[in-house]
Amino acid sequence: MKINWKEFALFFILFLIVFSAYDFIASFFTFAGAWASWVAMIVTVFIFYYAWKWLSKKRLGV
């Protein structure tokens, strides 16, 4: 199986951008107390998923 390095680099960069935004997102959910990190993680995962889906569409020209 050949690794597509361009695809991997795009995935890695997107992961770093979205995951570094985790602290920024978590600050909005401080009212949730102990649940803040879980809520922020779920929001971060959704942002990552939809950003990846959108980028995939743009690259494929759909």
Question: Where exactly are the structural domains of the chain?
Answer: 5-60
What is the DSSP annotation of 42-53?
HHHHHHHHHHHH
Rounded CA separation 37/25 (Å): 9
Is residue 31 within 8 A of residue 38, CB to CB? The reply is no
| Residue bearing the bigger pLDDT, 41 or 32 | 41
pLDDT at 36: 66
pLDDT tens digits along 1-39: 676 777 777 777 877 777 777 767 666 666 656 566 777
- Tokens for 55? 């980028």
pLDDT at 3: 67
Rounded CA separation 26/7 (Å): 28
Least confident residue range of 27-31, 44-48, 50-54: 27-31
